[in-house]
Amino acid sequence: MSRAAEIIQDTIRKGGPIGVHEFMEIALADPQGGYYMTRDPFGAAGDFTTAPEISQMFGEMIGVWMALCWQRLGSPSSFALLECGPGRGTLMADLMRGTKSVPGFHKAAHIYLMEISPVLKDKQADALEDYDVRWIEDLNKLPPGLPVLCVANEFFDALPIRQYTRQRLEWKERAITTASLHGLSVQSIPLRQGSGGRVDHTHEACDDGLVWTDIPLQKRKDFPVLPEGAIIETCEAAQDIARHLFRHISKNTGAALVIDYGYEGPAAGDTLQALYRHKPCDPLTHVGQADLTAHVDFTPLRAAAENAGIEIMRLATQGQFLRNMGIDVRAQSLRRNASPKQVSDIENALHRLMSSDQMGTLFKVLGVYNGPGAGMAGF
């Protein structure tokens, strides 16, 4: 059993079933056993691949956006260039390389990386060795008074969600317990494989001895009346971070891009997903060894921006945003000096980033801005 599974088992033994958010928190971020804390999850040898890891063009296009925002802000002589959840540091490295020729941009940029993983911090230090970089663990550590330009790619989907389920005409919180507490013997229950790449994980035991259950709500929720079995998700961590970030932008000027797969609610359904070595698995298996994500609900993020009184763009798809920022022109110029193999790599990367059967439509881009002028490039 993995260290994370042991910690979860122990927590449940001591305090009873845990909500999905606590399960995700331990499985992803526990200092001893958490998925992100103990490994580099990216690439062919890892569990998943992200847009910046697919092509340098992705970070370059974000760089063009950042440089345009900075100029729109009046080219301030000092600003915080913030990335939330920077992974291997690839996006920031491409962004910085891509903005080298923008006069004054590098001199003004103070790079801040919000990251929890010690393993990934080391990778980021290597990728960004040419720059002065500071790490922060939360947004309170941002320097007061500086404008901020922020990017968060596939960051919000890694934050712990809560799930609520409609059971016998009332809402309950979805929770995880141990098979033994649930009165089940793990060995006696066969694993059931779901169809269509997703595994049906309703009420079944699995190799870490964990099973689904539900617990009464601590506080009444005003959810709509939905059919029996419906699931609603909320992400308090995402709302807190968005509130904080947008308030900072409201006070000090700046802009932010949030890129993730998700939806603008209201929507119901179970979007918790586990990926182990590039394949979906039951979220209660490979605990601490599989990536766990949930689709991002952009509605509360939009509300946080509205409350902060800053301008918010229409949600764009990743494909639209990258095209508007000029990715085709960039690909064309990269092709000019490329070998046939490189040309085919560029074509493949464009396809993966842009096409609607890949990341082009599923991934959405939320842009916010606060400063002189109105309307932003890319949307």
Kindly list the residues in this chain that would bind ligand SAH in the complex (CB under 6 A): 29, 36, 50, 52-53, 85-87, 91, 114-117, 120, 153-155, 158
Residue 2 or 50: the one with the smaller Cβ distance to ligand SAH is 50
Residue 87 or 288: the one with the smaller Cβ distance to ligand SAH is 87
With residue 187 as reference, give the H or E element that holds it: none
Residue 41 or 209: the one with the smaller Cβ distance to ligand SAH is 41
Residue 17 or 160: the one with the smaller Cβ distance to ligand SAH is 160
The minimum distance between CB 226 and ligand SAH, in angstroms, equals 29
Q: In Å, how far are 10, 178, 286 from 6, measured between CA atoms? A: 6, 11, 12
Residue 22 or 154: the one with the smaller Cβ distance to ligand SAH is 154
Is residue 109 within 8 A of residue 76, CB to CB? The reply is no
Q: Is the peptide bond before 266 cis (omega within 30 degrees of 0)?
A: yes
DSSP codes of every residue in 81-132: EEEES-TTSHHHHHHHHHTTTSTTHHHHEEEEEE---HHHHHHHHHHTTTS-
Token pair, residue 352, equals 């993966």
Closest CB to ligand SAH: residue number: 85
The DSSP output letter for 77 is: S
Is residue 318 within 8 A of residue 360, CB to CB? The reply is yes
Q: In Å, how far are 53, 137, 197, 291 from 153, measured between CA atoms? A: 11, 17, 24, 15
Residue 29 or 211: the one with the smaller Cβ distance to ligand SAH is 29
The minimum distance between CB 123 and ligand SAH, in angstroms, equals 9
Is residue 357 within 8 A of residue 351, CB to CB? The reply is no
The minimum distance between CB 170 and ligand SAH, in angstroms, equals 31
The minimum distance between CB 86 and ligand SAH, in angstroms, equals 6
The sign of the torsion formed by the CA atoms of 159, 137, 308, 99 equals negative
The minimum distance between CB 171 and ligand SAH, in angstroms, equals 27
Residue 8 or 127: the one with the smaller Cβ distance to ligand SAH is 127
| Length of the chain as a residue count | 379
The minimum distance between CB 90 and ligand SAH, in angstroms, equals 6
The minimum distance between CB 58 and ligand SAH, in angstroms, equals 8
Reduced to 3 states (helix: H, G, I; strand: E, B; else coil), residue 152 is strand
Q: In Å, how far are 178, 215, 228, 315, 358 from 218, measured between CA atoms? A: 21, 9, 20, 33, 40
Residue 73 or 272: the one with the smaller Cβ distance to ligand SAH is 272
